[in-house]
Amino acid sequence: VAVGLNPPAQLLPVVGVRLAATAAAIRYQGRLDVALIELAPGSRIAAQFTRNAFRAAPVVIARRHLAARASRYLLINAGNANAGTGVNGIEDCLAACTALAAKTGCQPDEVLPFSTGVIGERLPVDRLVRALPAALSELAPDAWLRAAEAIMTTDTVVKDASRVVTIADQRVSITGIAKGAGMTRPDMATMLAFIATDARVPQAMLDAALRIAVDASFNCITVDGDTSTNDACVLIATGHSGVDIDTDAARAQFQSSLNETANELAQAIVRDGEGASKFITVVVTGAATVDEARRVAFTVAHSPLVKTAFFASDPNWGRILAAVGRADVEDLAIEGVEIFLDDVCVARSGAVAQEYTEAAGRRVMGQSEIVVGVDMHRGACSFRVWTSDLSYEYVRINAEYRS
Amino acid sequence: VAVGLNPPAQLLPVVGVRLAATAAAIRYQGRLDVALIELAPGSRIAAQFTRNAFRAAPVVIARRHLAARASRYLLINAGNANAGTGVNGIEDCLAACTALAAKTGCQPDEVLPFSTGVIGERLPVDRLVRALPAALSELAPDAWLRAAEAIMTTDTVVKDASRVVTIADQRVSITGIAKGAGMTRPDMATMLAFIATDARVPQAMLDAALRIAVDASFNCITVDGDTSTNDACVLIATGHSGVDIDTDAARAQFQSSLNETANELAQAIVRDGEGASKFITVVVTGAATVDEARRVAFTVAHSPLVKTAFFASDPNWGRILAAVGRADVEDLAIEGVEIFLDDVCVARSGAVAQEYTEAAGRRVMGQSEIVVGVDMHRGACSFRVWTSDLSYEYVRINAEYRS
């Protein structure tokens, strides 16, 4: 069902990272639902968390632990978000970290917790803790795919990306996994992404690299405009390849590969979006400012009218033009805006383009992947958003989820 | 199908206003689709138009004519929005005004044109003009309901409101009609509302009264967040009752009745919203600023996750709290926010309320009319939005409309 997604790739091990996945019956029976990631001493971590003011307990604790000291373990569960659980949720989360610390000899604040699943229910800490010995005994460098499976909730496919980068004739690996099938639904919260490299990256550079990669990927996708209480994206650099990212050229190469990895994971979330039957790229060009381009792109991408038109394969350029018109762009003369579906110009001068034919529009709209181009002809700035269509299936998933 | 709407009321004539409706086959066959409203000389008009930068030809022309001189006729057609029609659309619109002027002896700029219907197709001016003699011959003071029928597009019910106000022991009438079933779908554009009174109101007061009424009614509703290319709300004061609105008390009384009329029409649009099965009032209180309250109310009202939960009668307070959390409120401590479904407190201190029971939540969610209360406990400002749920039917209507 996911739009244009390939089967899982070969996921390269990252020297210094071991993973395990196990079934703890947090909510689901008979499937992997706990992932454990162990980091070699000296690993550096950067992380970005949800901007939603309603933060789940694990987000509160992970931020606190990250600020306290270098992390040794990431403990992730699916099936329960531990969000909307108040003070109890914080205590449950800390109990899980403490239990893992006791079993491994590290400190509780060397554990970063992550949760995804239903909101408003207590985390079954006992079941989570009982699963830890099995997870610890199975830690292995090649368990990325099993970990990707364990963090799924209503995802229909695993999300993964992996590549080798040659930097100054030396090879480093970048491997990542993600989950998320809406951006996102707060009761089956969340977008989570974990990316690791064995390159050696200074902390400030690692923080900046993640911010850049996330801004151009996970922050440019939308399924339904809802951000979650648990969203997190983590970037780990173990340094165990011995390859230093210490020149401008190396940094550029590393950033480029990291961006590609993040883009692949972010696209996978949209391609597996709730009820998605189309993968839509909205590209706004010719804007006076990036902020203006961003606003137009998201207004088009969020419009239920535009999204249902894509679901119906209807080349309804009027809906796109109307979305551009209400994006609150100062002094916008709509006559200057051109709208494209792939290479077909559909609207110009506030009306249908002279050369446009309904047949050409229908041809593009029949595709499973479509680029909507909005050329504003008033500047040199641009922005790109990936999104999906709005289908019956989206309503069904979100209306029937709790029953 | 419309939620909680009564059959059309008795619509009181407004002295100085005559109306007619006729079938011109603009798009539909065998139904009224042209309305004509004639105003007595000396009538004053206030109007508010769409804020969408993508404005239909009749919006451009109506604004121009309104600025030029006092209007004598409003000419409204359904079935074709004359939007996205470029220079041709302007010419078509002017041709219709000129034809009506020739037949009545007024000037073309004494005619205000309004259109609603499909975007991007030429207005069939010939058919519109051919219908004018019949319309002119049928002008009558009691044709409000027929006019309300003529301006419908995919509305399932007529929208009307009428009341008598006693001001300083004298009676004045306020009668209004509206159309719209989304807020709105730009290809079957539009929200249109025409309200008239026989009170005598100074122009500046009339303008201010309309602005106040619209801000508290039509600007507080949303079905899908899409504003249209043709939205217009017109307020006419003929003065033919001889009753002057010239004291503070009279003004307050007039404003209050005008607000009620506008609210009734605005609510009717939401109650007849595309695919609506629930009428939802979102009330945000305790906000630090009105703008903050407004942002929170609309974020909740626009959230597809919240709207599908209402469709499913699921008391999913996590989705509401998460929408509040992402409304971009500065320094929001989510622990301070209380969420109510009618009188049932569902969330407090970032978790489910202690006294809450799923049974109590389900009882409220099973109703066809629900008030969502969000008390932010950080100030004295508030805002209220009316909206509907998100159903399969919404997707069907908007996906299948053009086929």
Q: Which tens digit of pLDDT belongs to each residue from A23-66?
A: 999 998 999 999 999 999 999 999 999 888 889 999 999 999 99
Question: What is the least distance, in Å, from the CA of B224 to any CA of chain A?
Answer: 6
- Among A305, A334, A365, the residue to mutate for chain B (most B Cβ within 10 A): A305
Other C-beta atoms within 10 Å of A142: how many? 11
pLDDT of residue B394: 77
Q: Is B350 on the interface with A (CB under 8 A)?
A: yes
Q: Please judge whether B302 and A229 are an interchain contact, meaning their C-beta atoms are less than 8 angstroms apart.
A: no
Q: By the 8 A CB rule, do B138 and B23 touch?
A: no
Rounded to a whole number, what is the distance in Å from the CA of A202 to chain B's nearest CA? Answer: 31
Nearest chain B Cα to A81, which residue?
Answer: B318
Which residues make beta-bridge pairs with B179?
B192
Residue B188 pLDDT greater than 50, yes or no:
no
pLDDT number for residue A186 = 36
Query: Of B90-99, B181-190, B297-306, B380-389, which range is least confident?
Result: B181-190
The predicted pLDDT at position A32 comes to 97
Mark yes or no for CB contact A305/B186 under 8 Å: yes
pLDDT at position B1: 63
The HSE-up count of residue A217 (CA atoms within 13 Å, CB side) is: 26
CA dihedral B308, B314, B318, B322 (to 10 degrees): 20
Residues of B labelled as active-site residues: 190
Q: Average pLDDT for residues A284-297, to the nearest whole number?
A: 96
Provide the pLDDT confidence category of residue A195 given band limits of 50, 70 and 90.
very high
CB-count exposure of residue A31 (10 Å: 0-12, 13-18, 19+): middle
Q: CA–CA separation, B204 vs B195, rounded Å?
A: 17
The residue of chain B with its CA nearest to that of A57 is B350
Return the number of other C-beta atoms located less than 10 Å from residue B362's C-beta: 13
Say if A387 is an interface residue toward chain B (CB within 8 Å): no
DSSP SS3 for A271: helix
Closest-CA residue of chain B to A326: B52
A-chain residues within 8 Å CB-CB of B229? Answer: 318, 322, 325
Mutate to test the interface with B, among A54, A190, A376 (most CBs of B within 10 A): A54
HSE of A352 in the Cβ direction (CA atoms, 13 Å)? 16
Which two structure tokens, joined as six digits, stand for B336?
A: 């301070």
pLDDT the model gives residue A226: 63
Give me the residue label for tokens 């690692």. A206
**What is the rounded radius of gyration, in angstroms, for the C-alpha atoms of chain B?**
22
Contact A55 B334 (CB under 8 A): yes
> Where would I find the beta strands (DSSP E) of B180-254?
192-197, 221-222, 232-237
Contact at CB, A84 and B302, closer than 8 angstroms: no
Distance of CA B284 to the CA centre of its chain: 21
**Amino acid, single-letter form, for residue B303:** S
CA–CA gap between residue A230 and residue A49 (Å, rounded): 7
Query: What integer is the mean pLDDT of A113-128?
Result: 94
The B381-388 sheet, strands edge to edge: B221-222, B381-388, B279-287, B369-375, B338-341, B344-348, B351-352
B308 touches chain A (CB under 8 A): yes
Question: Could you give the CA distance from residue B359 to residue B365 in angstroms, rounded to a whole number?
Answer: 10
Strand order in the sheet with A351-352: A221-222, A381-388, A279-287, A369-375, A338-341, A344-348, A351-352
CA distance A336 to chain B (A): 11
Task: Give the C-alpha separation, A395 to A308, whole Å.
Answer: 12
Query: How big is the A-B interface in CB pairs under 8 Å?
Result: 207
For A297-310, write each residue's pLDDT tens digit: 999 998 888 888 89
Q: How many CB atoms lie within 10 A of CB B376?
A: 24
- Our CA angle for B348, B351, B353, nearest 5°, is 50
The Cα of A54 is separated from the nearest Cα of chain B by a number of Å equal to: 5
> 3-state class of A291 per DSSP?
helix
A187–B316: do the CB atoms touch at under 8 Å? yes
Q: What is the pLDDT of residue A319?
A: 87
For A402, the closest of B186, B314, B321 (CB atoms) is: B314
ipTM score here?
0.80
Nearest residue in chain B measured CA to CA from A300: B226
Nearest to A402 among B303, B316, B399 (CB): B316
Weakest mean pLDDT among A217-226, B110-119, B207-216, B249-258: A217-226
Which residues from B are below 8 Å from A387, CB to CB? Answer: none
pLDDT at B189 over 70: no
> Chain B window 78-97: which residues touch A at a Cβ cutoff of 8 Å?
83-89
91-150 in chain B: CB under 8 A from chain A: 119-120
pLDDT digits (tens, 9 = 90+) for A326-364: 898 999 998 999 999 999 999 999 899 999 999 999 999
Kindly identify which residue of chain A lies nearest to residue B323, measuring between CA atoms: A226
When pLDDT is averaged across residues B204-224 and rounded to a whole number, the result is 90
Q: Please provide the DSSP assignment of B250-300 as one string.
A: HHHHHHHHHHHHHHHHHHHHHHT-TT---EEEEEEEEESSHHHHHHHHHHH
Q: What tens digit of pLDDT does each residue of B128-184 get?
A: 999 999 999 999 999 999 999 999 988 889 999 999 999 989 999 999 999 987 644
Active-site positions of A read 190
Closest Cα in chain A to B309: A399
| pTM summary value | 0.86
Q: How far is CA B369 from the centre of its chain?
A: 19
**pLDDT surpasses 60 at A1:** yes
| Contact residues on chain B for A347, CB-CB shorter than 8 A | 84
Do A293 and A383 form a contact (C-beta atoms < 8 A)? yes
Q: Are B376 and B295 in contact (CB under 8 A)?
A: no
How does DSSP assign A14-30, residue by residue?
A: -TTEEEEEE---SSSSS
DSSP bridge pairs for B164: B173
Sorted by sequence, the CB contacts under 8 Å of residue B36 that are 6+ apart come out as B19, B20, B21, B22, B73, B74, B75, B76, B100, B132, B135, B136, B139
Residue in chain A closest to B331 (alpha carbons) equals A53
- Residue A81: DSSP 8-state: -
The residue that leads in pLDDT, B153 or A187, is: B153
Specify the pLDDT at position B400. 67
Residue A396 scores a pLDDT above 80: no
Averaged pLDDT for residues B13-36: 96
DSSP state at residue A230: S
Instruction: Test A400 with B312 for CB contact under 8 angstroms.
Output: yes
Q: For residue A54, what is the nearest residue in chain B, using CA coordinates?
A: B325
pLDDT band at B230 (very low <50, low <70, confident <90, very high): confident
Q: What per-residue confidence (pLDDT) applies to A185? A: 40
Letter string b/e over residues A92-109, b meaning 16 or more CB atoms within 10 A of that residue's CB: bbbbbbbbbbeebebebb
Which two three-digit tokens encode residue A7? 């089967």
Interface contact B53, partner A, CB < 8 A: yes
Does the pLDDT value for residue B67 go beyond 80? Answer: yes
CB A130, CB A147: distance < 8 Å: no
**C-beta atoms of B311 and A399 within 8 A:** yes
Nearest to A293 by CA among A319, A237, A259, A332: A332
Q: What is the mean pLDDT of residues B375-382?
A: 97
Highest averaged pLDDT of the listed ranges A2-6, A236-240, B275-279 = A236-240
Query: DSSP states of A136-186 as a string?
Result: HHT-BTT-HHHHHHHT-SS-SS-EEEEEEEEETTEEEEEEEEEE-SSS--G
Contacts B334 to A, Cβ<8 Å = 53-55
Distance from C-alpha of B309 to C-alpha of B319, rounded to nearest angstrom: 8
In a mutational test of the A interface, the residue from B51, B54, B154, B354 whose CB has the highest number of chain A CBs within 10 Å is: B54
The interface residues of chain A toward chain B in range 233-292, judged by CB-CB distance below 8 A, are none
Is the pLDDT confidence value at A165 over 90? yes
What integer pLDDT is reported at residue A341 of this predicted model?
96
Q: What is the pLDDT of residue B329?
A: 94
Q: Considering only the beta carbons, identify the residue of A308, A326, A334 that sits closest to B227.
A: A326
- CB of A316 within 8 Å of any CB in chain B? yes
Which pair of structure tokens corresponds to residue B297? 């109310």
Mean pLDDT of B308-330: 89
User: CB contact, 8 Å: A230 with chain B?
Assistant: no
Residues B142 and B176: their CA atoms lie apart, in Å, by: 12
Residues 180-219 of B with CB under 8 A from A: 182, 185-187
What does the DSSP 8-state code read for residue A54? S
Task: Say what the pLDDT of residue A401 is.
Answer: 54
Helix (H, G, I), strand (E, B) or coil at A290: helix
